[in-house]
Amino acid sequence: MFTIKGKTTDWEVVIGLETHIEVLSNSKIFSGASADYNPTVAPNTQACMIDVAMPGMLPVLNKYCVEQAIKFGLGINAEISRHSKFARKQYFYPDLPQGYQISQPAEEPPVVGRGWVEIMGDDGNPKKIFIERAHMEQDAAKNKHDMHPTKSFVDYNRCGVMLLEIVTFLDTKNPENNSYITSPDEAERYLREIREIARALGVSKANMEEGSMRADVNVSVRPVGSKTFGTRTETKNMVSFKFIKNAIEYEARRQIEILENGGTVTQDTMRYHQDDGTTSVERSKEDALDYRYFPDPDLLELEISDEDIERIRKTMPELPAATRARYINEYGLSEYDANRLTETTDISHWYDDAVDGKTSRAKPVANWMISELFAHPENFDITNEIKENTDPDAPRIITPENIAELVDMISANEINGKQAKEIFIKMLDGERGTIHEIADKYGMKQITDTGAIESAVDEVIKNNPSQVEQYKSGKVGLLGFFVGNVMKATHGQANPAMVSDLLKQKLA
C-alpha cells in the first residue's frame, strides 16, 4: 500500500478522478458543424449558429454521439441508463457563448451509470476501480490571450464538441470497499486504461498532449486504518501523467502537514504550477460557483432501448482487459508480459500480427518485443504503418513478420539464439532484407550435423585435460566452459543444446 510517513502516524492517500475525453464524431453533439477540432484548422471556420448561440437556433442531439457514449459505457462494464436528461450548467465566460454548458444533471442518472475498470494495483495484483458515472456534455471554445498585447480572442471551433466526463466512485457508505485509486501510480494506470479503452473503441483519441483527455484530480488523506474519508481538494484541468502524479503527491503532503499541525483541510479548488510542482488555492468552497442546474427545455429526454444497446454491443472489439486475459490463459504469458503488451492497442495489435495465432511463437515473440524492441523505439513502428524505409541511411523498421521469421528460424534450428541476436543487431544497424536473406548473406547457419559437432567436442575435450579432470571430480559448473569453447570452435554456429548434450555424454 502506498503510504506517506508522518510525524506520528502513516497516512493513506485517497484519489478521485474526473476525466474528460473529447469524443470522436463527424459533427458536434448538438450542431452540424465539424467536430474535427484540431490546431491546424483556421479559427472560427467550424462553428455554426448554434455553437455561437445565435437566438432562435435549437440544438439537435447527435445520435452517433449517444452511441459513442453507450460504447464507452459498455467498455467500462457500466449500466446504461434507459432514460436520461440534459441540463444547463450556468456560468459566464467568454468561451461559453450560451452562458451555460449543456451537460447531464448531477442528481439524476447520466447516460452511463455505475461501472468499473481493472488495473494493476500497487501490490501487483489486479484491482477494480469503480466508476460512478460518465455523462455527456459540450466542450467550451478556446480563449487566446497570447495573440495581441491588449486584446483577447476566442476560437469557437471546439465549442460544442462532445465530451464524456468519467467520474471515479468512492463508496463513502461502505469503507470496506477499497475499489478506488490510492496512489499516484495507480492514478496513472487508471488513466492509461481509460485511454486504451477509449482508443480501442474509437470513442476518443484520448491524448493528453493534444488536450483530448484531461482530468480533475481530487485528493484527500487519512491516517492508515481510519474508516472515514478526509476532506478533499480538487486540482483542475491536468494534462499530463507526470503533472498529475506530482500534484497528487504534493497535495497529499501539504494536507498532512496541515493536519499534523492541528489544522483542518478545506475543500478548495487548487491550481497546479507546472514550473515548481506546487499547488495553491484557486478558489475556496465559500466562493464555489452555484451553477443553478435546470433541465434544458430545448432538448427531449434521451431514451435508449435494449435493442440499441445490443446492436452496439455486437460491434465492440476486444478490449485491453480481455486481451490481457487471452495472453495469460491461451499463450501462457506472465501477468507482467501481458501488461506490457497491452499498454496500447497498437502494441497488442503488433504482437498479435507477429504471433498470428501460432501458440509456439507466443512466448519468444513477447520476449523479443519486451527486451529488445521496446529498447529501440526508432526501429519499432508500433502502429505498423511504415513497412519499408526507402532512405538507406534511415533506421530499418522491424515488422511483426520479421520477428515471426526470426523466432521460427530459431525453433526450426536454422539459426541459434546468438545468431538471431546478431541478425537483430544488423537490422538495427540498417541491414535490409528478410531474416533468411540476412542469415544467408552472412553465412549464418546453425550446425546441427552431429558428426561436425562431435569432432569439435572431441577436440575441446582433448585440449583441456585438467578441466576434464576437475569436471569428473564433481565441478560440473565447468560445463559452460566446454560449451563456450565448442561454440568458439564452430564460429558460434553449433546448436548449443546439441553441444551441451554431447558434452554431458562424453564427460560422464
- Give the interface with ligand ADP as residue ranges (CB under 6 A): 14-18, 106, 167-170, 218-220, 229-230, 232
Contact segment (CB under 5 A) with Mg ion among 18-26, 369-377, 401-409, 476-484 equals: 18-26
Interacting partner of 279 out of ligand ADP, Mg ion, none (Cβ under 5 to 8 A depending on kind): none
* Strand blocks (E) in 296-383: 302-303
* Strand blocks (E) in 187-307: 213-223, 233-238, 269-273, 278-283, 294-295, 302-303
Amino acid at 107: E
Interacting partner of 490 out of ligand ADP, Mg ion, none (Cβ under 5 to 8 A depending on kind): none
Nearer to ligand ADP, 294 or 442 (CB): 294
Nearer to ligand ADP, 136 or 167 (CB): 167
Q: Quote the CA–CA distance of 230 and 219 in Å, as a whole number.
A: 9
Rounded to the nearest 5 degrees, what angle is found at the Cα of 52, between the Cα atoms of 51 and 56? 90
Interacting partner of 293 out of ligand ADP, Mg ion, none (Cβ under 5 to 8 A depending on kind): none
Nearer to ligand ADP, 219 or 483 (CB): 219
Q: What is the smallest separation between the CB atom of 435 and ligand ADP, expressed in angstroms? A: 50
Amino acid at 387: K
Q: What is the smallest separation between the CB atom of 234 and Mg ion, expressed in angstroms? A: 6
Q: What is the smallest separation between the CB atom of 483 and ligand ADP, expressed in angstroms? A: 58
DSSP state of 368: I
What would the grid cell of residue 344 be? Answer: 496500447
Nearer to Mg ion, 18 or 122 (CB): 18
Q: Quote the CA–CA distance of 52 and 96 in Å, as a whole number.
A: 8
Could you give the 3-state DSSP secondary structure of residue 431?
coil
Nearer to Mg ion, 18 or 171 (CB): 18
How many residues of this chain bind Mg ion (CB under 5 A)?
1
DSSP state of 27: B
Q: Burial of 55 by CB count in 10 Å (0-12 exposed, 13-18 middle, 19+ buried)?
A: exposed
Quick one: CA torsion of 477, 478, 484, 486, rounded to 10 degrees? -130
Q: Quote the CA–CA distance of 173 and 158 in Å, as a whole number.
A: 39
Closest by alpha carbon to 90, among 292, 299, 283, 298?
Answer: 292
Q: Quote the CA–CA distance of 26 and 9 in Å, as a whole number.
A: 54
Contact segment (CB under 5 A) with Mg ion among 16-24, 153-161, 221-229, 496-504 equals: 16-24
The single residue listed with the C-alpha cell 451509470 is 113
Q: What is the smallest separation between the CB atom of 282 and ligand ADP, expressed in angstroms? A: 14
Nearer to Mg ion, 18 or 308 (CB): 18
Q: What is the smallest separation between the CB atom of 230 and ligand ADP, expressed in angstroms? A: 6
Nearer to ligand ADP, 257 or 458 (CB): 257
Pairing of strands 162-168, 10-22: antiparallel
Binding mask 257-296 for Mg ion (x = CB under 5 A): ----------------------------------------
Q: What is the smallest separation between the CB atom of 229 and ligand ADP, expressed in angstroms? A: 4
Q: Which residue is nearest to ligand ADP (CB)?
A: 16
Interacting partner of 398 out of ligand ADP, Mg ion, none (Cβ under 5 to 8 A depending on kind): none
Q: Would you tell me how many other CB atoms lie within 10 Å of the CB of residue 217? A: 28
Q: Quote the CA–CA distance of 97 and 158 in Å, as a whole number.
A: 12
What would the grid cell of residue 182 be? Answer: 490510492
Interacting partner of 232 out of Mg ion, ligand ADP, none (Cβ under 5 to 8 A depending on kind): ligand ADP
Quick one: CA torsion of 240, 245, 246, 248, rounded to 10 degrees? 120
Interacting partner of 220 out of Mg ion, ligand ADP, none (Cβ under 5 to 8 A depending on kind): ligand ADP
The single residue listed with the C-alpha cell 502537514 is 257
Nearer to ligand ADP, 27 or 168 (CB): 168
Contacts 24+ apart (CB under 8 A), 366-370: 366/327, 366/331, 366/333, 366/337, 366/341, 368/403, 368/406, 368/407, 368/424, 369/341, 369/403, 370/337, 370/340, 370/341
Q: What is the smallest separation between the CB atom of 18 and Mg ion, expressed in angstroms? A: 5
Query: In which element (H, E) is residue 5 found?
Result: strand 3-5
Q: What is the smallest separation between the CB atom of 253 and ligand ADP, expressed in angstroms? A: 15
Q: Quote the CA–CA distance of 352 and 350 in Å, as a whole number.
A: 5
Nearer to Mg ion, 212 or 218 (CB): 218
Q: What is the smallest separation between the CB atom of 255 and ligand ADP, expressed in angstroms? A: 10
Interacting partner of 218 out of ligand ADP, Mg ion, none (Cβ under 5 to 8 A depending on kind): ligand ADP
Q: What is the smallest separation between the CB atom of 216 and ligand ADP, expressed in angstroms? A: 7
Nearer to ligand ADP, 215 or 404 (CB): 215
Contact segment (CB under 5 A) with Mg ion among 15-23, 92-100, 405-413, 423-431 equals: 15-23
Q: Which residue is nearest to Mg ion (CB)?
A: 18
User: How many residues can be counted in the chain?
Assistant: 508
Q: What is the smallest separation between the CB atom of 6 and ligand ADP, expressed in angstroms? A: 17
Nearer to ligand ADP, 284 or 411 (CB): 284
Q: What is the smallest separation between the CB atom of 234 and ligand ADP, expressed in angstroms? A: 7
Q: Positive or negative CA dihedral for 174, 179, 185, 191? A: negative
Interacting partner of 170 out of Mg ion, ligand ADP, none (Cβ under 5 to 8 A depending on kind): ligand ADP
Nearer to ligand ADP, 206 or 407 (CB): 206
Contact residues for Mg ion, defined by CB under 5 A: 18
